[in-house]
Amino acid sequence: MDKYPLLDLFWTMLWFFLWIMWLFLLFKVIADILRSDDLGGWGKAGWLIVALLLPYVGVLVYVIVRGKSMGKRDVKEAQDREAAFKAYVREAAGASEAHAPKEGKHVDDLTKLAELKDRGAITDEEYQRAKTKLLV
């Protein structure tokens, strides 16, 4: 049985993890090439050919040349996803308000009335009349 010293194991694991990191970077670069709006079809094809035929050099050159805009595209995509999520939540919340019980519909109005009463803009009697009107 051959010996496999600890240092050899360390070097094997190091190279394995570096290879995995490079694969992640390669897929990230390919995804960025395909979603990039500022590249035309020929530009995308050229970068894909460089990245796939000369993988280590192609990925490194792409990150050097287009790394800054790559980050900007990531930020823009994250902002777009967040805006879409917020719009969905607002839409879903609006739909649930339409089916809410009558008492739940006027919470904002009651809060405004209480603020007006606290500021002295309306009297206790006016507050009670408006409150009764909202709840009935």
Q: Give the number of domains in the chain.
A: 1
pLDDT(96) > 80: no
Asked if 84 and 73 touch (Cβ cutoff 8 Å), the reply is no
At residue 6 the predicted structure's pLDDT band, cuts being 50, 70 and 90, is: confident
The mean pLDDT of the chain is 84
Give the model's pLDDT for residue 18.
92
Does residue 13 belong to any structural domain of this protein? no
Cα(120)–Cα(125) distance, integer angstroms: 12
Mean pLDDT of 21-29: 91
Does residue 12 belong to any structural domain of this protein? no
Does residue 105 belong to any structural domain of this protein? yes
Does residue 3 belong to any structural domain of this protein? no
Does residue 33 belong to any structural domain of this protein? no
Q: List the structure tokens of 19.
A: 């290879």
Give the model's pLDDT for residue 105.
59
Asked if 116 and 131 touch (Cβ cutoff 8 Å), the reply is no
Give the model's pLDDT for residue 134.
77
Tell me the residue range of the domain where 121 lies. Answer: 101-136
Quote the crossing angle between the two packed helices 41-53 and 55-98, to the nearest 10°: 120
Does residue 72 belong to any structural domain of this protein? no
Does residue 81 belong to any structural domain of this protein? no
